[in-house]
A and B are shown apart, each in its own frame.
Chain A
């Protein structure tokens, strides 16, 4: 909102500099977004002068040499001038040596093409009072020679563009801001003198002007008033008013419209003037619009209304979108002689809905939305009437018609200086507390002593301060006026930590440290993803469940179900920029659909890309599934999940995004977590425009499954006797998983050893397929380690057990022992 300093000064004496006023506004709680200066700045050494003679410059075609009389400021000077209108007899601004013109341009005595010049005659643009640069500013009205120029030029103004917080609708006006500044600078606030007084004995307005006012929507319009003024003369508003409106960015229209705008910006109270002739049937009806009803608003656009929108209508048609904008058909024009002045209180939610729905905002709707004080309505109306009668003439014809009631306002808050000081943590003297409250017109109406906290003050809250309701609200008022810059410096009082960080935080830290240590770069990608991308990674049900109701842009319409697509996007971006990149990771939330419900999971994922275009003088082995497995195992262990003890299953078609036969999954959310790892679908990687293969891995877990702290560990004794090793190779179908075979083998080995000794470990040491084996078969070599905790094993007893294993294998399994 724009606030003019000149305008403010008509209510409060402000001698401070613009910077100080800016600071005051800032510390009162209003952000100053911009300070705009208009008109002539304060200029030293610039005077009124008259050109006495003009002669052509001997050395320059376009220059003239003039003699200029600046009277008492120094007599006759010789000045070289390039302006076309430096004719004898013109009185113009003359900047003498020492003057500093806007733009830090210092005037000095100087030679111009060999001719001495004692100063400079100025254009309007050079003085920044307008953009007129074609010639010298010729001063009208023969001002006395030697008069300082600021005495002749219209004074400039300073306009503050201020952001008013939503709790302070009272400050969407010059009086509101003036009140704040009066408190800050400890100056009186001078309200405009309002003289209009309604006469209770007046009759109702003439029926040919305004027969009736009816409010059919009392809920959205609790108070409506209409006053008839007859015999006005429409014309331009006075220049002082135009100047003020222009300063804050409004275009003057005519005297009546300008007055309405002026009062709006003065009091923050919207009013609206109708041409009485244009009110059909001389009836005003405040009602909801009919669905589909149309109105052409003052901005020339046709608006289609609906039944939630409030309109001011006549007998046949809507005249105004209530509180938002008037219609073209009912406004005041040059031929208007009789007015109906509307002042009303509309419910803010109603105006807000309408304004949003129509995408139409105005100074009026902006204020109604934030809350207009219904109790100030009458005073503002009277102010408008005063100005109309004074400026446009005419007279008020009959009683103001008033529908609805102004519920009397009364609010008091009880507060003590002790309470205020307890809340702020330092002492503001009682006298300063009183002064701060009173300066904001928060009058202390009663006081009673309390034993410890100073006097209990009953503070009366004015009607425009609906935001003040509790003692704590007054703490802020006092602190604002006292000055937040005066809060004393102190040291943080810190007790010991009361708890550990969230398990999610600990998990993220751990996996981040591990992956950074493994030469991965951490990425951060957007959570909201395009539908198409999600379809490549999640089931159709999940895609449907993860959709937002109101996406902002099409390519950010769904929650991510995986971190990998974002990492692939990052790979692509880097590749396309010619930046070599291979190892990336991300931590963050993903959303997993299961049985029709979504679950927010904590996740970590990595990618390892091998771009054939990346060259190196020394070749490394290509990465593979098992490298991804090792990393995924590491990440899962950070969450307390031992992936080496979990059954990893090859991916199926249901696991979107992965290359069949080259990737695996585990967990599948059965216990609140899942892991997936391996080669990313080759076709998809290619379709993304990525070069080379990408291996990836992801681990995700429900936050509630990330228990704080690990399980208690206990020492397990281990044997110091030597081990006995036996190897065995089994020929099995290629599709059989090693883990299955190992499990069977381990079971048989344990059965064979019984309680005599134990199978300590069993490991795959060889996988073979090809020559010597039947088609579709593979050989798995296992190494078994037997050990006793009590003695050295003899070859014989191990052989007996091992033979038993082989016999059982032959008897109970389809596996063949490879000789």
Chain B
């Protein structure tokens, strides 16, 4: 019996180490320790073992059983490891490029717009939107632009035929024409008519001018405007806002200055110049960046605000111009060509 057990163990040791597949293993396991297995057969012979040898043989059988189990466990581990290994491909080369395209990118105009909105939100401005198709009232009349003003000419502004209908752009007067807004100031009017002061908004958006396209002009471009209406708003507050915006966007070395100017919807009105010589491709001391002023009382009266109670300022600028300045881009058309080599530079 003892010899048989030793032989069985030796045979198992030799065989189990060579097993590669799970079915082979299961078969081998059955052959050794299954109900009809060799060890089971030997155990059944226990009855014929003389009584005095029983404890010794019993112990031996148990030991053999334990050793067989260890061998089986080892064989199974080996097979499991081989199975996992089989799931793997060849070793990777970490220096090969991913076949998937690289990171996505936001357009530089989006980046600048969002950065400006972020800066303005910090000082209480919320972002509003309005329709790009507008009417003469919201784009011109309400902004104190006289009926014969050149900006309203069909030469400068895109109009729609009298018969055109826009289901979700409201008209103020039945007979007025639809047009493509020439500035985002129309959003100020819609906001003031809809709400009540105090108002603190920024309206970025697309605007249209009937103009030749070249390195600095584009058939549509983007503006960003701020409007603040409250009691006792002053020119000094306006200057403080612009100083804050441009120092935040372009760095502390940036300076602004106001030059008196004329706009129909503000009084007094100013053009804003920037001094930011640390930016790329800036070779002038002062660069014009936008227009601003104190909301004209006529505009307030037009939207039903008492101009002796309410005061406010407005500021507007071109986003392309700002992006060009910020990144040192010298042709506005690059924004609209979307050459991926261009788009990838700003993320």
Contact = CB atoms under 8 A, between A and B. Distances in A.
8 contacts: A424-B235, A485-B258, A495-B200, A549-B154, A594-B167, A597-B167, A598-B167, A599-B166
Contacts of A550: 154, 158-159, 210
Contact of B100 (A422, A498, A519): A519
A765 interface: no
B306 to A, nearest CB: 14
A516 B344 CA distance: 12
Interface in A71-127: none
Interface string B137-165: 00000000000101001110011111011
B103 A500 contact: no
A498 B294 CA distance: 21
Contact of B132 (A168, A527, A596): A527
A277 B122 CA distance: 75
Interface string B256-272: 01111110000111110
A425 B106 contact: no
Nearest to A524: B107
A596 B259 CA distance: 48
A573 B337 contact: yes
A709 interface: no
Nearest to A522: B107
Interface residues of A, number: 98
B219 A619 contact: no
B173 interface: no
B262 A29 contact: yes
B103 A600 contact: no
A522 B110 contact: yes
Nearest to A369: B150
Given A29-B262, A526-B219, A620 B99 contact: yes
Interface residues of B, number: 87
Interface of B: 96-97, 99-107, 109-110, 114, 117, 121-124, 126-129, 131-133, 148, 150, 153-155, 158-162, 164-169, 180, 198, 200, 206, 208, 210-212, 219-220, 232, 234-237, 239-241, 243-244, 257-262, 267-271, 294, 296-297, 311, 335-341, 343-344, 347
Contacts of A518: 104
Contact of A548 (B104, B131, B158): B158
Given A423-B311, A577-B339, A589-B206, A599 B167 contact: yes
Given A422-B234, A573-B337, A703-B129, A598 B166 contact: yes
Nearest to B146: A349
A600 B166 contact: yes
Interface stretch (A215-223, A235-243, A473-481, A674-682): A473-481
Nearest to B98: A618
A298 to B, nearest CB: 25
Contacts, number: 250
Contacts of B103: 516, 519
Contacts of A551: 158
Contact of A492 (B154, B160, B240): B240
A60 interface: no
A523 interface: yes
Interface stretch (A140-148, A389-397, A580-588, A737-745): A580-588
Nearest to A485: B257
A496 B240 CA distance: 17
A479 B235 contact: yes
B297 to A, nearest CB: 6
A559 B210 CA distance: 14
B121 A29 contact: no
A499 interface: yes
B114 to A, nearest CB: 7
A505 B127 contact: yes
A493 B132 contact: no
A190 interface: no
Contacts of A630: none
Contacts of A425: 234-237
A259 B260 CA distance: 33
Contacts of A492: 123, 237, 240-241, 244
A591 B180 CA distance: 12
Nearest to A487: B239
A484 B270 contact: yes
B259 A31 contact: yes
Contacts of B271: 31
B261 A165 contact: yes
Nearest to B105: A521
Contacts of B122: 494
Contacts of B262: 29, 165-168
Among all A-B residue pairs, the 5 with the closest Cβ atoms: A425-B234, A425-B236, A476-B268, A29-B260, A165-B262
Contacts of B124: 494-498
Interface string A581-621: 11110001101001011111000000000000000111110
Interface in A39-78: none
A553 B343 CA distance: 27
A600 B165 contact: no
A476 B267 contact: yes
Contacts of B127: 501-502, 505
